[in-house]
Structure 1
Amino acid sequence: MKHPSTKLSQKDHIVWLDVVRLIAMFTVVCCHCTDPFNFYPGTAPNIDEIKFWGAAYGAFLRPCVPLFVMITGALLLPVREEASVFYKKRIPRVLFPFLIWSVLYNLFPWVTGLLGLNPNVILDFFPYAGEDVMRQSLSVAIEYILQIPFNFSILAVHMWYIYLLIGLYLYLPVFSAWVEKASERAKLWFLMAWGVTLLIPYYNYFVSGYLWGTCSWNSFGMFYAFAGFNGYLLLGHYLRNLDWSLSKTLAIGIPMFAVGYTVTFLGFRYITSLPEYTDEMLELFFLYCSLNVVMMTIPVFMLAKKVKVRSEGIKKALANLTLCGFGIYMVHYFLTGPSVVLVRAIGIPISIQIPIAAVIAFGTSWLIVWAIYRALGKKAKYIVG
């Protein structure tokens, strides 16, 4: 996610990237609204329908996180600042809100206990919650909080991305030195090597756990240096400057997205149809760094480039989303579960429950963050970035 506090001058402001950010921000909220479907706690008469729509929307929404990384690459590569200045400007504004909200999420079950609420209410907020969480214990909350420097908890699942974001920020000045000097052909070769790595998870699952030098004593294979989200950084940088006509974008993008979506959806349904499967198996076709997800992400990014925003009101709203985006990401996971509960309670048809819940969660999160900025001004950056 490109950090929203990074302000561009009016001259350099790129409105279509604000459109990409809107798509990315809404789809990530929508994606988390699928959790109560794909991880439905308990049973229901229409469980098959619940699971189907969770898979259908979950597969469709996989470009959400890759789009965030591509925005970062499009805006920040090559880095024009000294590494120390770059780090000082960006990492603290990510780190402090991350720490504050991680603590709040981990304290939430204990607070529900203080309020005398039934432990089952926690499942409405966090579908992944386990037995320890249901104890509503302060000791469990403190244990999770102490683990924050090392990893996220099941109560703050979406925080996995912040560890990645900080890592990308640390890596960007190093990667930038090559990007600045590399030719377009060299960048394409890198992206091709990265493309090969996107198939490795499937080779590891269906063929062998080891490939190109990996073994029990070595996890770093031949193309390891080309793997991961750094490919999305370069892809965003590369595609920013690639100009396709609308007809070419549609002619290439629609079939590409359709193939990527078909593989993602059918693959996920295949795994969930197995009698038993591990968490790793469940995520296999949903992996962000997989070829099928890249095939879905590229068309969305390229189509967003064709959006022309002429309304000054819409431009201002998009600019405000740029300011509030990081805070929305911090807040929204408190609201996705309850929003799903709400749309179920008022009888919204199951086929559109996920997007309606996402609209509610997204809009409410945006309003909360906007209110924090209005109340605290510049100090709000320590809470919502």
Structure 2
Amino acid sequence: MSKQYWIVNLRVLATISVVVLHAAAGVDRFGKIPADWWWCNNVLNAFGRFAVPVFVMISGHLLLEKYDGDLFGFLRKRLSKVFIPFLIWTIIYIIYGSYWTNKIPGFKEILVFLLRGGGGSSSHLWFVYMIIGLYAFTPVLSRWLAKADTKEKTWFIILWFAGSSVYPMITRFSGIHVAFDLHNFAGYTGYFVLGNLLGKIDYPENALKQSLAGMLAGFAITIFGMYYLSDYSKRYDSYCYEYFSPNIILFAVSMFIFFKIRLNEAFLPSILSKLDASSYGIYLSHILCLRILSRNFQINYTFLPPVSGILLQSLLVVIICFPVIYIISILPKGKWITG
């Protein structure tokens, strides 16, 4: 198989976008900060919303056909690569949190943090809990995908979209609870399978314009939908940021297709390949760096005019985390920390 440069390019952009998203944290202060500050946070936060679905789609594209029938070998290789760094960083965040609260957690509290998440400003680690579940389910999905025909795969995606996006939207805006149970099709499994299916397609030329239009439409709906829903309720309303809202699905899927069609070429390969290899470590560590810059140095969206403050904080996080994670990764056992 030829080198899939579009995967490298897309994953690097998604990694940086997650950093920007978390730096643009002032968006939840709707009505409490100046309007221009809020809009800057909203636009930059909205742009980063494609990243998590795209991470899941990339994983589905790369992993769902790598299962060779060795169940325990597959699980050991995939889960250990994710779980050991996750465990180490969970402990790091618990220690960091105890510094600010002046409370040292006991073994029981650490175990609760590990099982429930959220210890020491580590709420972003929810993603790892989710991806571990998908990896554990991969052998089953791989067997099904190998046997299913196109109609069955399409039917799965339709049911997933209905259960994950349409039903919640109906409940959210009409108050009607749809009783038809599609919970088995809801969740990130849909993005996982979608990445596998969309990654195989050879797209026609007109798909480039369609994917670009989808990206712009999804992005715009997210930005203005956030404002109108928040303004209507007179409080922060995060519906348009949710990863299963139709606008985010459109945004993420279009971004995935656009990169596959248009950006399958090497850009600064020596740098981007290292950034790509460090993406998991950067994801694990970036919140710690954001918190330190904000709490200790007041470098955040209030430091300068909001756009400058957010982008400066994000740039510093990447500049700090990337070389640290890369250097650790090449040390003996360094992959236990960086993934």
Measured against the shorter chain, the TM-score band is 0.7 to 0.9
Higher mean displacement: 235-244 or 165-174: 235-244
Q: Which has the higher helix share?
A: 2
Structure 1 residue 137, shift from structure 2 partner: 2.1
Give the residue type in structure 2 aligned to 1:350. Answer: P
Q: Distance in 2 between matches of 1:328 and 1:30?
A: 13
Residue 211 in structure 1 maps to residue 178 in structure 2: yes
Structure 1 residue 74, shift from structure 2 partner: 0.7
Q: Which residue of 1 is the match for residue 238 of structure 2?
A: 283
Q: Which residue of 2 is the match for residue 261 of structure 1?
A: 219
Question: Sequence identity, in percent?
Answer: 25
Asked if the contact 1:110/1:141 (under 8 Å) is kept, the reply is: no
Structure 1 residue 290, shift from structure 2 partner: 2.1
Structure 1 residue 141, shift from structure 2 partner: 10
101, 105, 112: which one aligns with 2:93: 105
Q: Distance in 2 between matches of 1:191 and 1:72?
A: 17
Structure 1 residue 331, shift from structure 2 partner: 0.7
Deviations 1:241-271 (A, max 9, x none): 22224x5234212332233223322332234
Structure 1 residue 111, shift from structure 2 partner: 2.6
Q: Distance in 2 between matches of 1:199 and 1:265?
A: 20
Q: What are the equivalent positions in structure 2 for 1:1-385 lying under 5 Å apart?
A: 13-35=3-25, 37-39=26-28, 47-81=34-68, 82-112=70-100, 135-139=101-105, 143=109, 146-153=112-119, 155-197=121-163, 198-208=165-175, 210-213=177-180, 221=181, 223-245=182-204, 247-274=205-232, 282-305=237-260, 306-310=262-266, 314-339=268-293, 341-342=298-299, 347=304, 349-374=305-330, 376-377=331-332, 379-385=333-339
Asked if the contact 2:301/2:308 (under 8 Å) is kept, the reply is: no
Structure 1 residue 239, shift from structure 2 partner: 1.3
Structure 1 residue 330, shift from structure 2 partner: 1.0
Q: Which residue of 2 is the match for residue 216 of structure 1?
A: none
Structure 1 residue 12, shift from structure 2 partner: 5.4
Distance change (3 Å), C-alpha of 1:296 and 1:41: closer
Distance change (3 Å), C-alpha of 1:154 and 1:77: same
Root mean square deviation, CA, Å: 2.7
Structure 1 residue 329, shift from structure 2 partner: 1.0
SS in 2 for 1:147: helix
SS in 2 for 1:342: coil
Structure 1, unmatched stretches of 5+, are 1-10, 113-134, 214-220
Asked if the contact 2:98/2:120 (under 8 Å) is kept, the reply is: no
Give the residue type in structure 2 aligned to 1:233. Answer: F
SS in 1 for 2:175: coil
Structure 2, unmatched stretches of 5+, are none
In the alignment of these two chains, the number of paired residues is: 333
Deviations 1:159-199 (A, max 9, x none): 00010010000111111111111122322222222222212
Q: TM-score, normalised by structure 2?
A: 0.88
Q: TM-score, normalised by structure 1?
A: 0.78
Q: Distance in 2 between matches of 1:310 and 1:96?
A: 31
Asked if the contact 1:79/1:172 (under 8 Å) is kept, the reply is: no
Structure 1 residue 275, shift from structure 2 partner: 5.5
Q: Distance in 1 between matches of 2:158 and 2:31?
A: 44
Asked if the contact 1:87/1:170 (under 8 Å) is kept, the reply is: yes
Give the residue type in structure 2 aligned to 1:181. Answer: K
